[in-house]
Amino acid sequence: MRFYQPRTRFYCGVDLHARSMYMCVLDRQGKKLLHCNLKCDRKRFLKLIAPYRKSLTVAVECVSNWYWLADLCEDEKVEFALGHAQYMKAVHGGKAKNDRIDSEKIARLLQGGLLPMAYVYPRKQRSLRDLLRRRTRFVRQRAELASHIQCLNQQENLPELGKVMGTEKGVRNR
């Protein structure tokens, strides 16, 4: 597992949701410089990080909606780190959990060199990867449903189905 190695003066941890985000900015000594909740708005985000952006790293947990923030940071030449969600839970799991606490913990993991990193897919490859993931899900779901129908057919001791569902000319996919 790779961990982010601190190399900037400021560290921004973001707890990201679909419509809102909580962010916390720390300096090298761990002093909180900014801690606020805001809507997922590019202009507002850029305005808030403006005083720190010359030497800032933004980190977010790898959830389903991080693409826009990674792209924004890339466009604005702000360093971006994507935290691996599964490993982050192991590192900072605790009883007290809310957006405010999570954003600060992400910033502190980043600042301390303990942020487990996930791969940031290049923006041109993301749509293909997402499409393939959806296709895989649908193929598995189709196989599960076909198996269920076969099982029901056998439970009722009905004659075998003449054609394998969804294939041409009864040829099974292998």
pLDDT tens digits, 68-77 = 999 999 999 9
Q: Is the pTM of this model over 0.85?
A: no
What pLDDT digit, counting tens, does each position of 63-114 carry? Answer: 878 989 999 999 999 999 999 988 877 556 666 678 888 899 999 999 999 8
Cβ neighbour number for residue 24 with a 10 Å cutoff: 25
Domain boundary assignment for the chain: 10-120, 124-170
- Residues written for the chain: 174
Cβ neighbour number for residue 144 with a 10 Å cutoff: 9
103 vs 92: CA distance, rounded Å: 11
Q: pLDDT truncated to tens, each residue of the chain (174 aa)?
A: 789 888 899 999 999 999 999 999 999 999 999 999 999 999 999 999 999 999 999 999 988 789 899 999 999 999 999 999 888 775 566 666 788 888 999 999 999 998 998 888 888 888 787 788 889 899 999 989 888 888 888 888 888 876 665 555 555 555
Q: Is 166 exposed, middle or buried (0-12, 13-18, 19+ CB in 10 A)?
A: exposed
109 vs 46: CA distance, rounded Å: 22
Residues contacting 38, CB < 8 A, separation 6+: 20, 21, 22, 23, 44, 45, 48
CATH number, span 10-120: 3.30.420.10
